Every structure is written in C-alpha cells, then in structure tokens.
A and B are shown apart, each in its own frame.
Chain A
C-alpha cells in the first residue's frame, strides 16, 4: 500500500529512470547514469597473464608458509638472551626480532596474496542489485497476527489472571538470587579502609619509622632540610619484625603504610596544626595520593609541592598537604611523629584520616 502511495507522489520518476543510464531522458539532469560499460582486465583476456597472476598469488602464499616455518625455527633455534645490532632499531633481542619479522611476513603475505587474487582473477563484473522494502507483504503479516491472537486466546493468559500474576511475580523474583550472590565478592572491608599498619602505635608502644633505603630506624637529625626520605613501619605487636619486603602481604601493607618524610624550615610551615604533628620541621605524610591511590613522591624541595604522576594532583606540603591543583579531593594524611628516648623517630598513633582514595563510608 505504502509503495503505491509513494509511486503516486513521484510521477516524474516514472518512465525516466527505467533501466540504465544510456537511456536517460534529456529533460531530467539528475537521472541515474547507470553503470559504466564493463572493461575487461588483462587477466580476463590474456590467459598467460592470468597464469602469471595465479603464480604470483601462490608465491605470496608460499612465502607466508616459509615465514611460518621460519617463525617456528627461530623459536627453537635462537638463544633468548642473544642481542644483535640491527639498523635502524639499534641493539635488539635477536629472538624478538626474528619472531616479529617472520610472523609479520607470514600475515602480510596472506593478506597481499588475497588482495592480488581478488584484483586480478576473481570476477570484477559490475552488478546492480535494486533495493526493496524490508517489511513482509500484507498477507504474511495478517497471518502472523492472526496466529499470535489465536495462541494468546488458547493459553488463557488474559483470562486466567491468577496464573498471569504469579508468573510475573516469579519472573521478577528470580534475579534477586543473583543480587544476593554479590555478597560473595569478598569479606566486608570492616575498618580496613580507615586504618593502616601504624594502628598498633600508642604512646606506650610506639612504632619506629624505618628508612626504606637502609632498613634502619632514623633520627631526626638524619633528615636534612630539603631532603626526601621514604619510610615504613618498624616492629610492632602485630609485626614483631617490622614490615619487610619478604613479607607475604608486603605490597598490600606498603600500599597504605608508606611514608614520605620531608624537613622544612619551621618558619616555612604555614599550617600550625601540621607543624604540631611533625617534629622540629620533620613532617611525615602518607605517600598514597587521595585521588586514586598512586604513590606520590615528585617532591619539589624549593616550592614544597608534591606532585602525583598519575593525574597531576599537587599538594603543598608546607600547608598541611593542601590540594592546590588536580583532581584529588583531600589533603594527604599526616602521621603524628616524635622521637623516643634514644632519639629515633617514632609514631605514637595512626593517621587521623583514612589513607588513599575516598570511599562511601569515609567519615572525614
């Protein structure tokens, strides 16, 4: 029906566009010019040219096969630690180079052979295929609708309301079982996000700050103005040996416990609260960015800025690690430090704020 109507609306199209372009009417400048006449290829008319193209395609495929054999042979034969000089790549692992080249040639030759085959030997006769409506014709549609209505009536879906409603109810409840299973994603974090390895530190049982380089405790005078030192927690009740790289959970623990120790001239510290948490200008900040938890330690000693390498959040360590640029939402937590009787730097309490990125239940 719709086809009939559109035909009626386009009377001009009738007659003029029937068939191909060479019969285009002079009064219609936009008539379909049709396909240009078919031109044969050399390989269509010259059997010897066709044979040559066939040999070329086969040659490409054979080169591909040889390259694959070469790939396997290099994998077996070449010493993985051998370094060779290849211009312009420089010194390069011989095995990597051989594997890359042979696999590259093998894949390239398959593609090049296929393209050459299609261009020279496969039929290139132009074909026009007219478009047609996607919808089915009226008879088929009426038949399908009739069958659907019959089926619905026979099932009694509309008439027996109790069956219909309980079916909807059961279908709606099934997905709940999947939702409940989400609980198996892991134990609840409990207080894990709020505390760090420094939580065992108390005024009576302090934890010493251990230098990451030397694995030894530090005194305040070891930390010069303008220097940068990284530290981790020393022995505590929970970890009698202190946090060691050989510990099974070292990576997990250092991801919350890592400290960045800097020393500022006490007159340069703008935030008195931050100065009070430090010891004579030695400030211990969390090394973990409050944005997404990257280790942050690009410290500029003259501006006292610490920069995060991931998203360029910048913290002013002279002003309580206030965020002065970038996406981080909180200042870096600062650990309260002091010294013990022997002069070593110690922590007497955990961070007062949660370390690392924000989370839903974050209190502060």
Chain B
C-alpha cells in the first residue's frame, strides 16, 4: 500500500497495563473510504486499540498515523483538530444524561462553534430523521429511550458533523437480532452517505458480514489475520475458523483454559 494515502496506519503498537501486555505488536492499515472491522474475543485488545487511536490511552510504543500525521506524542491542540475528523458510536451509546436528545446529537457541532444553536438543532433533527427517529424524539431525555433508540441517537451523533472517520464500538451489543440488523443497515447507509472511512470492533459475525469491506482479527494483542470479508471463510487459520463459527473446541478455548 502507498503510505501517503492511508487514512489510518498503526505500526508496532504496544500497550501494557502494569505487567499485563494488552497490545503486543499491532499493525493495521485502513484506506480512505474502507470499512475495516476488527474482530476478536473479549479482552483481546480491540477496545484498547480504538482508545489508543483516539488518544484516550497512550501506547507504550509504536506509531499511529491519521492521514499521515503522527498521533503519538502530538500536542493537545493538534490532537483536537485531528479529533474533529472523527465520529464515534460507543458500545452503550454514551449519551449525556443531562442533555436532551437533540443536544446530544448536536454536541460536536456546538463544541466546534461552527453553528448557532438553532442551526445545530435543525441539523440534529435532520440526522435523527436519517437514523429513523421522528423529530418528537429530539426533546426527550436519553433515559426515556429504549436501547435500540439510544444506539440510533448515538449513530446520529457520530455522523452529525459529517466526519471523515467513524468508529463503531460493538454497535450491536445488547440488541435483539432484528434491531441489530437495523443498526447494521443504518451504519452501512450512513457511512456511505457521508463518505467516511469506518473502523468497527465487534464479535458479532452478522455485523462483520454486513458492514465490513476488510476484516482483521486480533488475538493476544496481535493482528493474526487481515483480509477481505469474502475470504474470511477460507482464511486457513484455525483461530479464525473457531471464532467465526463460534466453536467451543479449538485453539482459543484451549489456551484460555491453560491460562
């Protein structure tokens, strides 16, 4: 790949908490407009990878580049500028309880101070409509919404500022299969709408098959396989076969038992 055009590039990323090594040597390249999905079991380092890219955690070593710009050790003001390119849907939606739905959606727009409150509200209502929620929802509190509706609001917030890169952290966790499919469809449509690069972490294989262009599997802090979604069933890796088929027997289970 040509390094100049990579949207996200991770090289030799290493992160430990005390003695516990969570990311050992993570390497990952994501092209502009690509939808990359990282799969892996609980505790494999998926969320830590995302948090390192966003600067919520600082890696012990390695490089993180966004549009070719090094993010490790970057000044706070420069990081803020780069973060303006991002939208993120959190696992539990992470909506702000103290604000009504529309202010949650418009939060990033208001933070960047590019729009008046009235304009931001209009955009928020439009984004809510885009994710299938009526304008009546705008004035409700997040606590009044169901889990599926909260995810939709989280998605509306993620796309509100038309970001260049969107992260999805376990987007279907805790949802019923039908709502999961609805959210997956919305993710695909919204990412296409805004022309964003998407990075998703999940262990839901139906999400992988719906959302991904390329898939990467993380195991014990290493990316053990990366390739197109269509090739995942013929990866030739026992680890991936076990994971995607959800088998109890296999190398992952055996190693957990040994641990």
Question: Does A associate with B in a complex?
Answer: no
Chain A positions near chain B (C-beta within 8 angstroms): none
| Residues of B participating in the A interface, judged by any CB pair closer than 8 Å | none
